[in-house]
Each structure stands twice: as structure tokens, then as C-alpha cells.
Structure 1
Amino acid sequence: MGKDKRQAYWRANTALIRNLLIVWALVSLVFSILLVEQLNALRIGGLPLGFWMAQQGSILTFVVLIFIYAIQMDKLDRKYGIRK
């Protein structure tokens, strides 16, 4: 793999990681901590949304982010010809 291709691959990889970390930070910090009082005004299944996000929503989001990362990295690997 040439240097330009490696740099493009690395840029795409770090951009994906950055974007997923932004989502992770929004869910875990903003929705689960900073906006918990405002979200508690809404209810899901009888529980306040802020509580639900802190307990269940964050965990579900993290699991989804792992799958998104794996799928997107597989696409990047194929695009740039990285063999496993």
C-alpha cells in the first residue's frame, strides 16, 4: 500500500473513531448527566427518560456503536484493500 493510500486510510479511520466518540460523549455525558433533569420530564415505560438514558440507553448506545465501528471498519478495509 502506498503512502498516500495509507494516509487516506488512517484519516478515514480516525474520522470514524472521532465521530463515534462524539456520539458516545453526547449520550454518556450530555444526555445521561447534564440534561437528566430536562429528560426526566418525559417517560419511557413508566420510567423517567433521564434515568432510562443513564441506566439503559447509554449501554444500548455503546453496544450499537461497537457494531457500527466493526461494520464501518470492514468497509474501510475492503475499500483500501486491507487483508485480514
Structure 2
Amino acid sequence: MRWLVAVAAVSLGGAAWWWSAQPRTPAELFRTRCATCHELPDVCVFAPADRPSIVDTMRSANGADAVIDPEEAARIKAYLREGLKCP
């Protein structure tokens, strides 16, 4: 029975660590998902309306669909279009 409690404790601890490591905000999502494959570009050089197409291109032509699911892509695109503050 003790081993069962130990296994449950380790499993719960691992799940808690995994959950705490997940990106919480659209900005964190952009940074963590996009930086998985490349250095983050300065997207401020693009007009806000043009930024979402970068995500679409990365997902359709560059394999980012393996890293960014459709729901995450929608959140990142909204952030790049409306939430990103550029100098």
C-alpha cells in the first residue's frame, strides 16, 4: 500500500510541475512555442494586420503545426494583431 501512495505522490508532483510550466498568457505562448524552433523575430517591423499570416505560414510551410495547435495559433495570432505593444 505504501508503494501506491508513493507512486501517487510522484505522479501528482509531476503533473503539478508540468502544469506550472505551461504558458499562461498569449505573450508566454508566443515566446515558448515560437522559440522552440527559432530565435524570435522582431515582429514589430510588420503591420499588426500582417502579423497573423506569419503564424499561418510557419504552421503550413515550416512544420510549426507540430508545435502549435490550432487553438494556440489563434491565441498567438490575436496577441500579435492586438496585444503586442511595439515601441
Q: TM (normalized to structure 2)?
A: 0.34
Write 1 or 2 for the structure with the bigger share of helix.
1
Q: TM (normalized to structure 1)?
A: 0.35
